């Protein structure tokens, strides 16, 4: 096994283990039970819309600094995937859930996540690792959520995005770039842990606010 194989495998295992536990977080637990309040999901969609636009721009920035034609192709494909798969869903869901994407105030959780990426903006390898808890964690968590979500759920379209073959291909494209990353395993795992913590904070932001207000 090569060093890059070890890096990819270690990151896959750590993120998969952590993401499997996300299904017990308040929002995803309520999705599974069919009890999620629509305003909670609306808030999530609005914050995630801003986040995903930023996330796509990270791929665009990495594409601009790509070292080979293959890298350029991969980064462009990933940016395009975020725009046409994830953001298109959010736009479709805007009316049913009452979203207003033109008047979004970034939440503290969103600000923290963006600050994390900005801190690593000049480190290509670190940025690639930092993005993994999002792109890979969603695929793992939503696959588990799908298994336990009742038929006819208003969130089925959203779940389908992250369990479809197209999304799986995006995850593997990202891992193909990780395979070429020159970063020590211990540093990669430390960055991944920070990203995982920010993911939990992002998932919990609206339920936590409601609980505090009560």
Q: How far apart are CA 20 and CA 24, in angstroms?
A: 9
How long, in residues, is the chain? 214
Whole-prediction pTM? 0.92
Average pLDDT (195-209) is 85
Reduced to 3 states, what is the DSSP secondary structure of residue 191?
helix
Predicted confidence band of residue 208 (pLDDT cuts 50, 70, 90): very low
Q: What is the pLDDT of residue 207?
A: 47
Whether the per-residue pLDDT at 2 is higher than 90: the answer is no
The string over 182-211, giving b where at least 16 C-beta atoms fall within 10 Å of a residue's C-beta and e elsewhere, is ebeeeebbebbebbbebbbbbbbbbbeeee
Average pLDDT (46-58) is 97
Whether the per-residue pLDDT at 62 is higher than 60: the answer is yes
Are the C-beta atoms of 72 and 66 separated by less than 8 Å? yes
> What's the Cα-to-Cα distance from 191 to each of 64, 100, 106, 132, 145, rounded to whole Å?
23, 33, 23, 10, 26
Supply the range of the domain harboring residue 149: 3-213
Average pLDDT, the chain: 92
For residue 204, what is the domain's CATH number?
A: 1.20.910.10
Q: What is the pLDDT of residue 192?
A: 99
- If one counts the domains in the chain, the total is 1
């Amino acid at each position: 096994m090569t060093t890059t194989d070890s890096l990819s495998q270690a990151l896959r295992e750590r993120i998969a283990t952590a993401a499997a536990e996300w299904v017990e977080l308040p929002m995803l637990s309520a999705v599974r039970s069919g009890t999620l309040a629509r305003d909670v999901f609306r808030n999530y969609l609005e914050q995630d819309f801003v986040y995903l636009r930023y996330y796509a721009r990270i791929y665009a920035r990495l594409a601009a600094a790509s070292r080979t034609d293959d890298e350029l192709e991969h980064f462009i494909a990933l940016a395009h995937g975020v725009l046409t798969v994830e953001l298109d869903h959010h736009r479709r869901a805007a009316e049913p859930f009452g979203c207003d994407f033109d008047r979004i105030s970034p939440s503290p959780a969103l600000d923290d996540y963006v600050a994390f990426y900005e801190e690593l903006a000049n480190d290509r390898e670190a940025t690639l690792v930092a993005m993994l808890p999002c792109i890979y964690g969603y695929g793992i968590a939503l696959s588990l959520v799908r298994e336990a979500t009742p038929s006819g759920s208003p969130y089925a379209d959203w779940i389908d995005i992250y369990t479809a073959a197209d999304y799986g291909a995006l995850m593997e494209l990202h891992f193909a770039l990780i395979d070429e990353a020159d970063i020590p395993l211990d540093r990669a795992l430390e960055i991944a842990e920070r990203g995982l913590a920010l993911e939990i904070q992002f998932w919990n932001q609206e339920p936590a606010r409601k609980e505090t207000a009560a």
